[in-house]
Structure 1
Amino acid sequence: MYKQRNPRVSIAMATFNGEKFLAEQLDSFLLQSYMPDELVVCDDCSIDNSINILYSFKEKAPFDVVVESNINNLGYTQSFSKVLSKCTGDIVFLSDQDDVWCPNKIDEIVEYFVSNPDVWILSHDGYITDESGIRSGQTKAAQIKRGYGKNVIPQTGALSAVRKIFLDVALPIPDNIIGHDLWIHKLASFFPNRKAQLKESLQDIRRHSSNTSEWIVNKHKKILVN
């Protein structure tokens, strides 16, 4: 039996020509031990089958699914700004279109927020996989440690969840900003006691030829330190 949905949970997703992996990510939402209350998606003028996949998922999902289609291409930063503004949950999870969530992800994050009411934004680690979804044995935090010598949890959008009360302050994202996650985490950094990190890996991070980020720590292969 699923836990009572309190607080309410939203998932915010931006899509763009994501048909290859989108269905697998959406299906991972259905396996959550703590089900979301809504999924809100902003599609940025996809020309593939992404929209059809989203509406097919909407028909079978046991929670509300809202699909917004941009009239003009906004880019991923403004698409996320738009979709985040439309979420109504108390806690909002940011989602990429090509990852896969572990079944306990929402449960673990919600439990932390409930136990720590002063926290506005929470990030966690993730397993790095190849295009087929096979784990490399590396996590993003481990790659950061090897590449930069920093023992930190990555502060990226796909590995983050935020309280709606913080989004009310952080949005809209200015047009000159590149990276919705950079903007959100930068604002939160002015309030150190409002940010928190979990060491647990709560999702797979799929690396493939169409990924927008080429940051070295996102590489599938283990970073070798000279």
Structure 2
Amino acid sequence: METPVASCPVSRPVKFTNTTTLWGSTKVVTHDRLFGVDKVPGIIKNDCITVIIDVTLFEEPETVRVSETTNKQSPAIYEAFLQRQLQMLCSEQHRQAADFTLYSNDGNDFHVNRFFLMAHSPFFAALLTGDSPEKRQAKYEFPDLDGNSVEIMLGYLYGSYVDKIHSGNAEKVLDMADKYQVTGLRVVCEKAMAENINAGNVVEYQVLARQKNLDVLMNAAFQFIANYQSVHSKGSK
């Protein structure tokens, strides 16, 4: 007949205080309880001790993201502000108030305020703060941009026309953004290409991303390749 195993005092959870950490139980198991005394058996049997541990697993706490409270009317107000800018850009009043003219290589002219050029482009900021012929003549002739490209650039500077940038022209607009140092426009182009990666252009986009240090596009290309290989490896089994 097996000797019953005596129960062991249940350990309390670890306690933490500001000054001291108590590990394990605040109670102890006596020598008599371990080895027995008189006719009362101890916990140790055949030089072995059985330890029973209850483990409770808790799920990870749900992460709650707290965002700043924003005015629900802000997007509408912002959109209206952009629309007014665009209307002014295309109006006769803007033409009269503009202080600078851009000429595309196909003969189109664009009347703008040099403030917008200088605010978004270090290229134009340097051009229009130094003693340059362009500053004195209040004009700049693009040797490499057609009217559509200049319109896209100005649309971005005035806060819209982003929807005119797509995978079909993003690479061309990206070259323009790089040359004339319009950093924000570069980001828009990279996003447009990253969202339209397919098996036909992924290699080309990888090369382009490496050449122009486009991290978002490079990561998107790697992700597309990984997903593509995963799908096709499953299909071949």
Structure number with the higher strand fraction is 1
TM-score between both structures, scaled by the size of structure 2: 0.24
Q: Highest CA radius of gyration, 1 or 2?
A: 2
TM-score between both structures, scaled by the size of structure 1: 0.25
Structure number with the higher helix fraction is 2
Higher RCO, 1 vs 2 (CA within 8 Å, ≥6 residues apart): 1
